[in-house]
Copies of this chain bind each other. A is one copy, B any other.
Amino acid sequence: MQPATNNNGEILNEFELIARLSELDSAKNLECDNTVLIGIGDDAAVVSTPASQMLLTTDAIVDGVHFRSVDERWFDVGWKCAVSNLSDIAAMGGVPDHALVTLGVPPGASVETYADFYNGMNAAFSQFGGSIVGGDVVSSSTMFVNLALTGHPSSDSFGEPITMRRTEARAGDLVCVTGPLGSSAGGLKALLNGDTNPSSTILIDRHYRPTPRIEIGNKLVSSGVRCAMDISDGLVGDLEKIAKLSSVKITVEMTSIPLTTELIFMFGSSAIELALGGGEDYELAFTASKPLVDDLVANNIGITVIGSVTSSELPGGQVDVIDENGELYEPIRKGWDHLNV
């Protein structure tokens, strides 16, 4: 297999690539992280555990499926790869700690590519928490990156760990989201269409630089919210996971779903379809009792009620979308299945 090179065409080995990436300025925040006892370079990293419970998540991205190497937006790809994992920790109401990165390196890939990619990942970790403490580098004809991330749960006032789960939706709960939906999917469409107007640019930025809702996730769990997930595969498909695991029916009022003006400007009446079925917004969806939601709204933490849990004890669960006339609406696409794209 043709080896990786730097931009002078110099052939790199696995250990040189790891060494170069460890030395990036953006990786320096690791040095300030006193939970990292042994970082990159030994058989395993050694970290001190900040809590009695730990969160574990992993997400991979593959060239041609989750990103396109031909676009050469490496910083953005790195950012988003970190965000997809950070968002899982946010959905549990947790705090990110330590990351392991596996690089599947294709023939001829350059060190600069990976440096940009690492800078993007490190920028997200630096802003939202977490640091890279180890990884693996392997040859692969298809470029891929796997990130595994640990975190720890928030604590209640007694110091006990608290999390938000998909199993805890209860009849009578309101269903809420933490921000507008569909913008990432709209950005992807604008990108593929080659649109360059100001609205497109905003949507494309939303596609490339999503925000993991760590901060609001922590506020929600501390306020008493116990059911949440992140919207990574599409609103309806993701709510179906909560509905199934909680055995409830969720009814979404289509007109309550928050949309950005840019999305409406660009896509008109089909904006709602992007909001219902488009993935990668990385907002949180959660359910909570009306008094609790009223408190959250009164405290202006930035949430929108989009529906309610309308019945319980429903094995398999169900999600209904209701239009402005109170009629059942059937979305064209409910979400993304990663094996059938």
Chain A: interface size category: 35 or more
Do the beta carbons of A338 and B51 come within 8 Å of each other?
no
Do the beta carbons of A56 and B49 come within 8 Å of each other?
no
Do the beta carbons of B43 and A57 come within 8 Å of each other?
yes
In angstroms, Cα B44 to Cα A134, docked, is 20
In the bound complex, residues from chain B placing their C-beta under 8 Å from that of A45 are 55-57
The chain B residue sitting closest to A47, CB to CB, is: B54
Partner of A341, one of B102, B139, B229: B139
Q: Known contacts A138-B66, A337-B13, A338-B138; decide if A44 and B60 are in contact (CB<8 Å).
A: no
> How many copies of this chain?
2
A163 within 8 A of B: yes
Q: Known contacts A41-B166, A43-B88, A47-B56; decide if A339 and B148 are in contact (CB<8 Å).
A: no
Do the beta carbons of B138 and A62 come within 8 Å of each other?
yes
In the bound complex, residues from chain B placing their C-beta under 8 Å from that of A89 are 43-44
Q: Known contacts A41-B166, A62-B140, A66-B138; decide if A146 and B46 are in contact (CB<8 Å).
A: no
In angstroms, Cα B35 to Cα A52, docked, is 11
In angstroms, Cα B104 to Cα A258, docked, is 34
Binary interface encoding of chain A residues 29-69 relative to chain B, with 1 for a CB under 8 A from any of its CBs, else 0: 00000000110011111111101111111111110111000
A183 within 8 A of B: no
Binary interface encoding of chain A residues 10-31 relative to chain B, with 1 for a CB under 8 A from any of its CBs, else 0: 0111110100000000000000
In angstroms, Cα B53 to Cα A56, docked, is 15
The chain B residue sitting closest to A12, CB to CB, is: B339
In angstroms, Cα B310 to Cα A317, docked, is 68
In the bound complex, residues from chain B placing their C-beta under 8 Å from that of A150 are 54, 56, 150
Partner of A92, one of B42, B57, B165: B42
Interface residues of A (CB under 8 A from B): 1, 3-4, 11-15, 17, 37-38, 41-49, 51-62, 64-66, 87-89, 91-92, 94, 98, 100-102, 104-105, 133-142, 144, 146, 148, 150-151, 153, 163, 165-167, 228-230, 241, 245, 337-341
23 contacts between A and B (CB under 8 A): A1-B65, A14-B340, A17-B339, A41-B166, A41-B245, A42-B92, A43-B87, A43-B91, A43-B229, A44-B57, A46-B53, A46-B54, A46-B92, A58-B102, A58-B146, A61-B138, A62-B138, A102-B146, A104-B144, A138-B338, A140-B144, A142-B144, A148-B148
